[in-house]
Structure 1
Amino acid sequence: MDDPGLPLSTRLQDRLHDVIPGGAHTYARGADQYPEGFAPVLTRGQGARVWDVDGNSYVEYGMGLRSVTLGHAYRPVLDAVRSVLDDGLNFSRPTELELHAAEELLDLLPGADMVKFAKNGSDATTAALRLARAATGRDLVAVCEQPFFSVDDWFIATVGMNAGIPAPIAELTVRFRYNDLDSLRSLFEAHPGRLAAVFLEAATALAEPEPGFLEGVRDLCTQHGTVLVFDEIITGFRWSFPGAQELYGVRPDLSCWGKGMGNGFPISALAGRRELMELGGLRTDAARTFLLSTTHGPESVSLAAFRAVLQAYREHDPIGVMETRGRQLADGVNAAADGLGVGEHVRVIGRPSCLVFTTTGPDGQPSQTYRALFLQEMIRRGVLGQSFVISAAHTPEDVEHTIAAAREALVVYGKALESGVEPFLRGRPVAPALRSHADPRRLPS
């Protein structure tokens, strides 16, 4: 039974656990990713601010797991969506809107000739792997040691949270290190003629490509007849317009897109060279590849949102705004940490448009307990986010509010470093999202 003395967010979170495994539809959104008692249930958002069921307002970071680059409820995107609602959304044949959306995306991608739309990034990456295997007749996939590529078995088999996946599936995925061309070269040598595809993000929040690395990956794939796949789910519409391949000047054979494409609306895409993509079409004599076939992939709402996002990027400079605000935020929080003597324990790092913060304990080692404390104290002061991933909707005032909140939170952090975290942290620490067991945040049955 609900305890009326608890905040409504806490009571609703308990009910969410009753009806949704994990209490959220994405593990990264789970209550175990936030300090206990500080996992607000939200009602609405506008720009860079969100409101919870208890009426609290927060400056939000992360912005829909990096999917919202223009801000919540961005008017031109909503207007575009409203313009198609009265005409129906999903039909038994393609629409003219599908054609225009495909042509506009391909106009931005000199290395791609065809595209298929879907609903999430895993649709695109798994389709890319299936296509690469069909095109090459090979079975192995080499993935860079980066956090995440797909919810499907070929990738999840290799992470800690892999119950339910037959062990042999993991044997088909091998790994190489970012900015270590020799580690990839050694995979080609160890598995001659077996690598169907190489997957990587061209860059991450914490790692830029060293000179020659991406070019070297491209050359190795070409030399061995392996399909090169760039995962642009995060880098797209955040690193550059449209993405990292434009910024670094290296063209993959296939590229996967999502998140920022729709400013929060559900849309993803697989784009690539015609001779590969057509294996899933009708202009081929080869055995057909089941590439992508989704009921909701071409629905009108998300395609209209996508075209409006493209227009916003043509008319404005969202990435420039994110870079400017991100630098202001990182500089301000880091200066506050240094001034309070905790700069060695809390640091804002990464690309300005995709910032994260690090938290360490008294021993200088990364600490989930101290991360939970910092999150707790930021939420107390009206800042919500597991990172400092920013959007073009964050105003200078939002950033200053965040810096001020961080300064106060870091005072508490410093006291915890001196006397121990127990008097300051309300509940159990946060835990990695993809861990093998519910502990240390298991809930009673």
Structure 2
Amino acid sequence: MSRDKTDNQSLRQRLHAVIPGGAHTYSRGDDQFPACAPALLERGEGAYVWDTDGNRYLDYGMALRSVTLGYAHPAVNAAAIAEIGKGVGLTRASMTELHAAERLNDLIPAVEMVKFAKNGSNVTTAAVKIARAHTRRRYVCVPRQHPFFSFDDWFIGATAIKRGVLAEHAETTLLFDYNDSASLEALFTAYPDQIAAVMLEPATHLTPCPGDCPVTWPRTACAACPNTSENFLQKVRALAHANGALFILDEMITGFRWHVKGAQHFFGVTPDLVTFGKAMANGFPLAAVGGKAEYMEVGAINRPGMERTFLLSSTHGGEMPSLGAFLAASRLCEEEDVPTHLWDYGAALRDGLRGLAAERGIAEHFVLEGPAVALNYVTRDAAGQPSPVMRTIFSQEMLRNGVMIPWISVSLAHGDPELDQTLTAAAAALDTYAAALDGDPARFLDGDAVKPVFRKVN
């Protein structure tokens, strides 16, 4: 695939001259992609994106996992356009806001009340505020294995990036280990009657089920398992409630992917509060915090004499096009059983990539981990250590063969032709990968290796 590298560099310089970091999400930054990646994308449709030179790429980034139906889905776009015709945002709450809130309430059993916003960080921070307001406590616990909850100080201060962060805010976040209930129990012992909430993702490539789980995903969900009490999420919920804390699930990524009712339904656990975003509106800017009324009502104004909590107040939280997109996208997710397609395509992709790696004798160096709906590829060097250089080589070679795969996020628009294209590209990429393992990997690298987002210095 031919590309104008000089123009690409010029575009990068223009971006960094006017946008700190060159993008509005650090996951979109230059340091997250090989040097041959397009600096800018022009548009997306279905499972594909186009760069400024008209080159087409099959995409597995899917707008940072926010697109599950495919880019520019006509029914979702039509719903948003209809709301634009109504005025976008009105002086009082709109009927669209009411319909969207009632839809989430009907769809997710744990959601009795909801507040909408634009960013995931806003609603996770709101969930923490709700928990603190309800419990009158200071601390929140999160797993160290879960990479991101919010750009606010309470969470970012717990990462390696501390510049500009108030230490007293960061100190309110306590870390435990996912799938290690003893590490969480130790925090409750060390901070008695001081922890307001435990917040975690239901699952990533790491899942909360014991290793001897007898059910077959996704046709039989964890909720049907006779060992459900051994599920880590159930243990966390029990620990939180035994110690007077709230149990919060962040379904920013898992929501509308694992199951139309969320991973909480899949795993048979009910949170006190839950956050959604990304896929809920097929890429339109929308996020939500919801939960039981007894907790959400801390933000109410119709309870005379109750002390006020300034929860979420957002001019664009009730923006109608995104709420209309959510109504359409959630209906399509349910009608077309999108999660089952994501599971099935993920399984076929996993098996195909594993087969290609095995054929080249590198199955221990290019590894697919996680359930089919939440695949992660791990790249290891000749010594068997995780390697950003090898990850960059694979991503670089896939780009050269027309596939953008910074991570694996699948949509309804990924079908048999896309699977064939991916495996054809992967066969060539893994040939180069195998050669790099046998020689000097740096010799196969065009530019710098990708870097972790959460690092102290550039």
After TM superposition, the score normalised by the length of structure 1 is 0.95
Partner residue, 2:54: 55
The letter of the residue matching 1:254 is L
Contact 2:104 2:111 in 1 (8 A): no
One of 294, 297, 319 as aligned partner of 1:299:
319
C-alpha displacement at 1:422, in angstroms? 2.5
Q: Structure 1, residues 141-189: CA drift from partner, whole Å, max 9, x if none?
A: 1112211111111000010122111222222111111111111111111
Do 2:200 and 2:248's aligned partners in 1 also have CA atoms closer than 8 Å?
Answer: yes
Which secondary structure state, in structure 1, belongs to the residue aligned with residue 114 of structure 2?
strand
RMSD between aligned alpha carbons?
1.4
Alignment of 1:242 with 2:261, yes or no, is yes
Relative distance call for 1:320 and 1:7 in structure 2 (3 A) is farther
Q: Distance in 1 between matches of 2:377 and 2:269?
A: 29
Q: Which position in structure 1 is the counterpart of 2:21? A: 22
Deviations 1:197-219 (A, max 9, x none): 11011111233433332112111
Tell me how far apart the structure 1 counterparts of residues 334 and 343 of structure 2 sit (CA, whole Å).
17
Q: Decide whether the 8 Å contact of 2:57 with 2:402 is kept in 1.
A: yes
Aligned with 2:347 (options 305, 312, 327): 327
Cα distance in 1 for partners of 2:22, 2:386 equals 26
1:395-434 alignment, distance < 5 Å: 395-434=415-454
**1:219-275 per-position Cα deviation (integer Å, ceiling 9, x unaligned):** 122222111110010110011112011111111110001011110000000101111
8 Å CA contact 2:60–2:406 kept in 1: the answer is yes
Summarize the Cα distance change of 1:5–1:406 in structure 2 as closer, same or farther, 3 Å threshold: closer
Alignment pair present for 1:38 and 2:43: no
Cα separation, 1, equivalents of 2:260 and 2:6: 42
Taking the aligned partners of 2:22 and 2:290, their CA distance within structure 1 comes to 34
Structure-2 residue corresponding to 1:362 = 382
* Closer, same or farther: CA 315–47 of 1 in aligned 2, 3 Å: same
Structure 2 distance, partners of 1:437, 1:169, is 21
3-state DSSP class of the match of 1:422? helix
Partner residue, 1:224: 243
Matched with 1:209 is: 209
Kindly provide the amino acid, as one letter, of the partner of residue 191 in structure 1.
Answer: Y
Partner Cα distance (2:39, 2:350) in 1: 25
Measured after TM superposition, the shift of residue 109 of structure 1 is: 2.0
* Superposed CA offset, 1:100-130 (max 9, x none): 1101100122222110010111111100111
TM-score, normalised to structure 2, is 0.92
- What's the offset of the Cα at 1:385? 2.0
SS of the residue 1:271 aligns to = strand
Following superposition, the deviation at residue 342 of structure 1 comes to: 1.2
1:260 maps to what in 2?
279
Task: Give runs of aligned pairs for residues 20-419 of structure 1, distance below 5 A.
Answer: 20-145=19-144, 146-210=146-210, 211-284=230-303, 285-419=305-439
- Rounded to whole Å, the distance in 2 between the matches of 1:291 and 1:306 is 22
Report the counterpart of residue 224 of structure 2 in structure 1: none
2:114 and 2:291 in contact (8 A); partners too: yes
Structure 1 residue 21 displacement after superposition: 1.0
Maintained 8 Å contact 1:356/1:389? no
Alpha-carbon distance in 1 for matches of 2:411, 2:396: 22
CA distance in 2, matches of 1:278, 1:208: 30
Flag structure 2 segments of 5+ consecutive residues without an equivalent.
211-229
Q: Which secondary structure state, in structure 2, belongs to the residue aligned with residue 436 of structure 1?
A: coil
**8 Å contact from structure 1 (residues 8, 53) kept in 2:** no
User: What's the secondary structure of 1:334's corresponding residue?
Assistant: helix
Deviations 1:394-424 (A, max 9, x none): 0111111111111101111111111111321
TM-aligned CA deviation for residue 5 of structure 1 = 6.3
Q: Distance in 1 between matches of 2:231 and 2:252?
A: 23
Whether the 8 Å contact between 1:156 and 1:162 is mirrored in structure 2 is yes
Contact between 1:355 and 1:390, CA under 8 Å: does it hold in 2?
no
**Secondary structure of the corresponding residue to residue 423 of structure 1:** helix
Alignment-mate amino acid for residue 387 of structure 2: S
Alpha-carbon distance in 1 for matches of 2:257, 2:123: 18
Contact persistence 1:332–1:403 (CA under 8 A): yes
Is this contact kept in 1: 2:38–2:51, CA < 8 A? no
Identity score, percent: 46
Tell me by how many angstroms 1:433 deviates. Answer: 1.2
How far apart are 1:366 and its partner, in Å? 0.5
Return closer, same or farther for 1:79/1:5 CA change in 2, 3 Å cut-off: closer
SS at 2:443's partner residue?
Answer: coil
1:7 deviates by 4.7
Q: What is the identity, as a one-letter code, of the residue corresponding to 1:160? A: A
How many residue pairs were aligned? 435
Is the alpha carbon distance of 1:205 and 1:212 closer, same or farther for their aligned partners in structure 2, counting shifts above 3 Å?
closer
